[in-house]
Chains A and B, each alone.
Chain A
């Protein structure tokens, strides 16, 4: 199958590939997928004052899965938690021109964003004891 130029670009030059220490303060980690399904995404955000100041990913999966997560980190950086919540898989499909058979890669990326946000909220909540940081509910 032919990949779109944007998928190829993200695959060859992945943005923000790597990891944060998941125990570091302000870091939220989302890990979704399963090895037997052929794709696992780890997406991490670093949050300061309710704003995502950095993001990283690691992905086991096809080129479209790698591109979806690379794009997600690019989009996440600089967004508030609330804005990050609003990233939809369909935005990723559109940006990367994903064919129907690859839509699940974008769904996985959206799930990874949601999981990272939830992990951050949970960590922040358990630290302050207030339960929520007041940036809106996660799922």
Chain B
């Protein structure tokens, strides 16, 4: 086993060597511009792009023509929200989203709001981080043009009832955008069955290269139109100009193909490792709390709060394991995770949270190591924690008058 161990597969994933192999010819030998219509270099590049487009579309049960390449999911989210709003603003300017969306959606919505271009409803989530479809239905007004709800959350892995939300959107004639960045490639995604009109996802979360993503844009029933946010040569059916990054797209295609063929065996294997990690930690250490849905959760996700221990110190104690924390100390904002706060997790437990993200290349041996290390470090840091000491003495920490600073 090699250290450090990578257990942060929600942030990004290592590229699959098979993806790299597929990409390599498209750097030096087959370097053509896919938009060059008059020579073999261009044709070769275009053919590779169209082949990748088909593979990507197949994974989500879409038509290849419905895939618009972007630089990643953040750009896809921006294009979906801004592009729809600009196109349909005469019909209405109301957007419905949820409080636990990725910041690429939330901050885009807030920016539209701040410019006076949209009014936005931010739906609450339940204690597991799930959006209630009834809340979506009740929030729809005659001015609503877009619902943007994520498929699976990046911190807690909770999977939203997207099928139901899609049905509601269709029944009410409102467009449905889904940020599926964490879900595509990990769980089955079917834009037809789910009633999704626009969907963001990216390659680097599914063992593909960084720097490429896609926006699925429905072509019929209804035909979705967008105002491009990038003007230029009119690539991607005019929705996103810019020369296509052929090697990245080829890699994206290969990554989708692999996810499609391996998901049925890979997802249960990863979930079994995750379940073992979860039960070993939570049965050994007292006062640990699972954040996220107990069952409706991504196979590789595990988010736990360890009471009385601060998250960044936990990460520091486990420096040979790559993880992330909802602690303020690990973010630039000095606020603990807004996702955990939206679930009603107390600020102190949000500071104490660790996110484990398991992926394709993790092994049982690595999980054994992580279990041992987590138990060891949490135990050591609790010995060092005045809060743990007080709790052991029977002091109710909530009754203490803290000298906040």
Contacts and interface: CB of A to CB of B under 8 A. Distances in A.
B386 A60 contact: yes
Interface in A65-119: 65-66, 104, 107-108, 111, 115
A36 B327 CA distance: 10
Nearest to A70: B384
A115 B329 CA distance: 24
Given A42-B386, A58-B384, A59-B386, A32 B403 contact: yes
B389 A19 contact: yes
A61 B405 contact: no
A11 B313 contact: yes
Contacts of B328: 38
B8 interface: no
A55 interface: no
Interface residues of B, number: 27
Interface stretch (B139-147, B343-351, B354-362): B343-351
Nearest to B397: A35
Contact of A59 (B316, B351, B385): B385
A65 B351 CA distance: 14
A14 B317 CA distance: 12
A35 B402 contact: yes
B194 interface: no
Contacts of B367: none
Nearest to B385: A60
A64 to B, nearest CB: 8
Interface string B283-317: 00000000000000000000000001110110011
Contact of B347 (A3, A36, A107): A36
B267 interface: no
A58 B405 contact: no
A41 B404 CA distance: 11
A40 interface: yes
Given A3-B316, A60-B308, A36 B346 contact: yes
B260 interface: no
B341 to A, nearest CB: 11
Contact of A58 (B336, B386, B403, B404): B386
B385 A58 contact: yes
Contacts of A37: 404-405
Contact of A60 (B316, B387, B404): B387
Contact of A62 (B310, B347, B405): B310
A54 interface: no
A33 B403 contact: yes
A31 interface: yes
A61 B381 CA distance: 10
B400 to A, nearest CB: 9
Contacts of A42: 386, 389
Contact of A11 (B316, B346, B351, B388): B316
A108 B404 CA distance: 10
Does more than half of chain A's interface fall in helix, strand or loop, or is it mixed? mixed
A34 interface: yes
Contacts of A35: 347-348, 351, 387, 397, 402
Contacts of A108: 405
B312 A63 contact: yes
Interface in A1-24: 3, 8, 11, 14, 17, 19
A100 to B, nearest CB: 12
B403 A31 contact: yes
Contact of B312 (A59, A62, A111): A62
A122 B385 CA distance: 25
Q: Determine which residue in A42, A60, A61, A66 has the highest number of CB atoms from chain B within 10 A of its CB, and name it.
A: A60
Interface string B10-52: 0000000000000000000000000000000000000000000
Given A62-B313, A63-B312, A63-B313, A40 B387 contact: yes
Given A34-B404, A38-B327, A62 B309 contact: no
A31 B398 CA distance: 15
B222 to A, nearest CB: 47
Nearest to A105: B329
Q: Determine which residue in A11, A33, A34, A107 has the highest number of CB atoms from chain B within 10 A of its CB, and name it.
A: A34
Which 7 pairs between the two chains have the least Cβ-Cβ distance? A34-B402, A35-B348, A36-B347, A42-B386, A62-B312, A58-B386, A38-B351
Interface of A: 3, 8, 11, 14, 17, 19, 31-42, 58-63, 65-66, 104, 107-108, 111, 115
Given A17-B383, A34-B404, A36-B404, 4 more contacts: A35-B351, A38-B329, A40-B402, A62-B329
24 contacts: A11-B317, A14-B384, A17-B383, A33-B403, A33-B404, A34-B402, A35-B351, A35-B387, A35-B402, A36-B346, A37-B405, A39-B310, A42-B386, A58-B385, A60-B387, A61-B329, A62-B313, A62-B316, A63-B313, A63-B316, A66-B313, A104-B405, A107-B405, A108-B405
